[in-house]
Amino acid sequence: MEDVTPSRQADPFARRSWPIRGFRFFSRWPVFSSLIVVALVVSALFAPLIAPQDPLLDSLRDRNDPPAWFEDSTGKYLLGADPLGRDLLSRIIHGARISMMVAAVAIVTGITIGTTLGLLAGYFGGAVDETIMRLLDVNAAIPFLLLALIVVMVFGQSLGVLMAVLALSNWGGPARLVRAQALSLRTLDYVLQAQIMGASTPRIIIKHILPGVTNTVVVVATISVGSVILAESILSFLGAGIPPPTPAWGSMVASGRNYLGSAWWIAVFPGVAIFMTVLAFNFLGDWLRDRWDPQLRQL
């Protein structure tokens, strides 16, 4: 008998499947945004070891020195120098440390306040809910930039004042989302059974309702990182943020706005750092939301 086993033929679409698989992999997993976030965290933690030079060391002879790949560059600065002759790359790396520190303090404080108030409003309802919601309305009605400028004028320009302003303006969004989920969770059977069994109110809130809103809190915190960094950059650009000579991305963009025609790199490279950081955290937050929400999960 003849061997009727079909010979294994090469799939003509095998090569085409690799680009498709690659596209699906990168669309399913936040590879690029994760790499940017990891690079940002590493730069923030090990800035003194990574930065090629002291970010505060100036050299007027090298002021506005072009990046190293320009023909008329001295080659001393990879991304060029600012108007005072300071290494732009070193200042961007140290600026990542400032941005991450400000974002961490502001978000942890804002998320803690917002989550606590949202849980209280959603669980108790009634007068407690009404009071907290009116506080949210007042907070949303206050212009952020105007509030920040007034606070800086009253208390002075410092890192602590900036963190406090960003934290106090970052609790409204988490409070509304947590309240909405707490209102639905408090009517579930396991919460009602805990009430019938005599569990205390703090135990019910912490053990039964808080785990149900944890995913939302993490997603909001991730997305808020980009918003806080952008707000800090705007305030630094306006002169109400990080006081000089501390390297901050917003103040670096502000120092280069008068040199866009002759030394564009002074403002462009810090602006790119702000753009990539905000975009990475927004993508990562969207991915977490789609991953943890069954209704939004991408198959």
Q: For residue 94, which of 36, 41, 51 has the smallest C-alpha distance?
A: 51
DSSP result, 17-59: HHHHHHHHHHHHS-HHHHHHHHHHHHHHHSHHHH-SS-TT---
Looking at residue 157, what is its pLDDT? Answer: 81
Q: Bridge partners of 87? A: 81
For the stretch 99-113, pLDDT in tens is 888 888 889 999 999
Residue 212 has which token pair? 């149900």
Q: What pLDDT, on a 0 to 100 scale, did the predictor assign at position 1?
A: 45
Which amino acid is it at 7?
A: S
Share of the chain above pLDDT 90, in %: 15
Residues of the chain scoring pLDDT < 70: 1-17, 19, 21-23, 25-27, 293-299
Report all structural domains of the chain as residue ranges with CATH numbers, in order of start.
Answer: 31-292 (1.10.3720.10)
**pLDDT computed for residue 25 by the predictor:** 66
Residue 266 near residue 203 (C-beta atoms within 8 A): no
Give the residue among 24, 32, 30 at the shortest CA–CA distance from 284: 30
Spatial neighbors of 167 by CB under 8 A, at least 6 apart, are 105, 106, 107, 109, 110, 113
pLDDT at position 7 is 47
